[in-house]
Amino acid sequence: MGELAVDKHVKYIISVEKKKDSFESVVMDHLRMNGAYWGLTTLDILGKLHDVDADEVISWIMKCQHESGGFAGNIGHDPHMLYTLSAVQVLALFNKLDVLDIDKVAYYISGLQNEDGSFSGDIWGEVDTRFSYIAICCLSILRCLDKINVEKAVNYIVSCKNLDGGFGCTPGGESHAGQIFCCVGALAITGSLHHVDKDLLGWWLCERQVKSGGLNGRPEKLPDVCYSWWVLSSLIMIDRVHWIDKDKLVKFILDCQDVENGGISDRPDDAVDVFHTYFGVAGLSLLEYPGLKAIDPAYALPVDVINRIFFSK
């Protein structure tokens, strides 16, 4: 089995950031904030965050903040929960949360909570358990979960639980590994994991491993490196990670590397992108692959960053 091509992946991420008019950057322009989170978190897990000019990144992030308090995917775009979490996560990576007007960000997020406890993604109102996770994760990092109704938020997430033990995007929505990560993550952060049937959900999640060792997101679907994050982090949060074959999953992820030019793809021999590079490296970190920083399965940030936020004065 090959090894993780650390130096190649570092080079790849830094080059994507620089090639502002490449195909990938043009397509990704409106969600550059998410790209910044994926790329920079990967660099941090690989121990190379210091290769980046922190001041440049932070000043760009602050230019993406809207007067409502939310962050956009890029300068001049509309704010959305998705980008607000990425902005807060990147500031946390650089230990720069103090540049934020926390009340302002918290006001934006709490304003998106609905009467039934759910959250909308932005002013246009789409409701999804992804946004429940984002609200809870973000406010927890900012240490102001008291700005929302946590009890109602938890009840809404529980109302999205299915008979198979999984969770969907709204009540009655089909179980999907991505939504399961969001719901289990939000329940973990709020200390509400007793609402999860761990054996039932653990069974559904470990069934996601296919012959090649990779994981899929729903029954009958193809494996994809990103589920090494969505499925594995959920299994860890409910203490059932020993129910999958870890060595086979490591091999699947390593088989998805472009060992010449760097980057990781969704499946072996596909084209690489920053998103799957992040999920591959983060997945290997959850699998305790040697030489990588540990990542927190609920907050999706390195454990040392989380410890700095919660356990230092």
- Here's the x/- map for ligand GRG, 65-104, by CB under 6 A: it reads as -----------------x--x-------------------
Closest to 129 in 3D by CA, of 92, 86, 98, 175: 175
- We find the least distance from the C-beta atom of residue 267 to Zn ion, in angstroms, to be 9
Contacting ligand GRG within 204-223 (CB under 6 A): 217-218, 221-222
Measured between alpha carbons, how far is 310 from 140 in angstroms, rounded to an integer? 10
The residue whose two tokens read 């020993």 is 242
Backbone angles phi, psi at 135, to 5 degrees: -60, -50
17 binds ligand GRG per the rule CB under 6 A: no
Measured between alpha carbons, how far is 233 from 215 in angstroms, rounded to an integer? 12
Measured between alpha carbons, how far is 222 from 43 in angstroms, rounded to an integer? 28
Contacting Zn ion within 245-304 (CB under 5 A): 266
Binding segment for Zn ion among 90-98, 140-148, 216-224, 248-256 (CB under 5 A)?
Answer: 216-224
Of the residues 4, 226, 231, 264, which one makes contact with ligand GRG according to CB under 6 A: 226
Nearer to ligand GRG, 12 or 227 (CB): 227
Measured between alpha carbons, how far is 187 from 136 in angstroms, rounded to an integer? 9
Q: Give the CA count within 13 Å in the CB-facing half-sphere of 6.
A: 14
- Roughly how many angstroms between the first and final C-alpha of the chain, as a whole number? 44
134 binds ligand GRG per the rule CB under 6 A: yes
108 binds, options ligand GRG, Zn ion, none, Cβ within 5 to 8 A by partner type: none
The footprint of ligand GRG (CB under 6 A) covers 82, 85, 130, 133-134, 176, 178-179, 181-182, 217-218, 221-222, 224, 226, 230, 300
